[in-house]
Amino acid sequence: MKKTKLLLIGGFLAAGKTAMLWETARALAKRNYKVGLITNDQAPDLVDTAFLTKTGAGVREVSGSCFCCNFPGFANAIASLTDAGADFIVAEPVGSCTDLSATILQPIKDKYPEWELLPLVVLVEHARMQEALGITEGLTHPDALYIIERQMSEADFIVLNKTDLLSEKELKDDLEILRKRFPDTPVKAISALNGTGVDDVLDNVLKATDKAGKRLTDVDYDRYANGEAVLGWLNAAMDLRGKAEWHAFSENLLNALRQAFAEKNAEIGHVKLILLDGEKSIIGNIGKLADSASCRGETELYAPHVTLILNARVQMPREKLEETVHAVMAKLAKEADVFVGYDTELCLTPGRPNPTYHYNQIV
């Protein structure tokens, strides 16, 4: 029987995992695979799920905890996609998760030989990679940077993303840094936004199935837990009604949120939104305080009623995060003469990781 291929693409918040899943799904479809995608979050109403559904691939969401702390839920999502005909499944773990080799890859190799596990791909981007390796300083909490460093340490492939934003020298220097720090780990460079390099990564991981989960890394779970807990975590789904031009509204919302967080010196893990009007959509994000807001999709979109999904991961207490988001939304809605109705909202602090399995040896 032909095995279902399984690829995990990890990396910290704002490393570009969702864009990578989008481009990977596109590239795999061209290779005649039937693709399934799995998203993961501490709470429902995930922007990534709504966005990736538009790839045409089957999408499943594991919410409420990370893959490692809900391994049965992850396995059920894989089985559901396989039953629906998927022969290549790509999964995106929560951005603040690490120790995936011990808690996901080794259990899969041990318990699910019917799945063909591909090497663990970990995405990084210039700014936080340099912070995590002690080259530059920024606002990201040291324990969050610890998670990023551990993610790179356990990777089977490290992929430097967002090369479209780098100069030739920056790209060369970053690759040299990564190859020197992780000499036994293959390093690739891509721009998931425009697809450059994605096929090369796929070619390499498909040739290296024997390299999956070949590393275990020591993880200090106190630092790991605190690196997650320094982030407030908000997911909200809203009904918006009014005569606004929604692309401009989305950009204004992201810029207003960034300004509000900057005033509190609260570094952004990521802020994402997707605005939906039937088949039409606008997606936007901010990766950190130093970034500009980015929105793409429909322009000149006027509709009396749209749905907005907002995800915010910000270095501040959850109560302050919720208060800040509500204040920004209320002010912007008043200025744009828009009615905001919250359908669902959950604001939390991630709990201490408690994996279903933890392997201390390579399978």
242-290 tens-digit pLDDT: 999 999 999 999 999 999 999 999 999 999 999 999 889 999 999 999 9
Per-chain mean pLDDT for the chain: 94
Does 362 fall in a domain?
no
Whether residues 293 and 174 share a domain: the answer is no
Whether residues 217 and 252 share a domain: the answer is no
Whether residues 126 and 255 share a domain: the answer is no
Does 256 fall in a domain?
yes
Does 158 fall in a domain?
yes
**Which of 69, 351, 79, 106 is CA-nearest to residue 233?**
351
Cα–chain center distance at 58: 18
Q: Which domain holds residue 307?
A: 231-348
Does 289 fall in a domain?
yes
Helices (H) and strands (E) in the chain, counts: 12, 14
CA distance 209 to 332: 50
Yes or no: say if 58 and 86 are a contact pair by the CB < 8 Å rule.
yes
CA distance 122 to 337: 43
DSSP letter at 84?
A: T
Give the residue from 227, 255, 284 where a domain finishes: 227
Alpha helices in 106-181 (DSSP H): 106-111, 126-132, 142-154, 168-181
305 C-beta neighbours (distance < 10 Å), count: 10
State the CATH number of the domain containing residue 207.
Answer: 3.40.50.300
What pLDDT is attached to residue 175?
97
**Weakly modelled stretches of the chain, pLDDT under 50:** none
Whether residues 22 and 59 share a domain: the answer is yes
What pLDDT is attached to residue 351?
87
Whether residues 84 and 188 share a domain: the answer is yes
Whether residues 217 and 261 share a domain: the answer is no
Does 68 fall in a domain?
yes
Say which residues have a Cβ less than 8 Å from residue 210's Cβ, sequence separation at least 6.
Answer: none
Whether residues 46 and 118 share a domain: the answer is yes
Does 353 fall in a domain?
no
What pLDDT is attached to residue 345?
87
Overall domain count for the chain: 2
Whether residues 210 and 237 share a domain: the answer is no
Q: What single letter denotes the amino acid at residue 293?
A: A
What pLDDT is attached to residue 42?
73
State the CATH number of the domain containing residue 331.
Answer: 3.30.70
Does 359 fall in a domain?
no
What pLDDT is attached to residue 48?
83
What pLDDT is attached to residue 1?
66
Does 168 fall in a domain?
yes
Whether residues 243 and 216 share a domain: the answer is no
What pLDDT is attached to residue 209?
83
Whether residues 198 and 89 share a domain: the answer is yes
Whether residues 138 and 40 share a domain: the answer is yes
Whether residues 307 and 340 share a domain: the answer is yes
> Which residue spans within the chain are E strands per DSSP?
4-11, 35-41, 58-63, 88-91, 115-117, 121-124, 157-160, 187-189, 232-242, 268-277, 280-286, 294-297, 305-314, 338-348
Task: Write a three-state SS string for 233-257.
Answer: EEEEEEEEEECCEHHHHHHHHHHHH
DSSP bridge partners of 243: none
What pLDDT is attached to residue 44?
67
| Structure tokens belonging to residue 354 | 């408690």
Per residue in 34-64, pLDDT (tens digit) is 999 999 887 666 788 888 888 888 889 898 8
Yes or no: say if 92 and 9 are a contact pair by the CB < 8 Å rule.
yes
CA distance 264 to 155: 34
**Which of 274, 156, 168 is CA-nearest to residue 217?**
156
Does the global pTM surpass 0.85?
yes
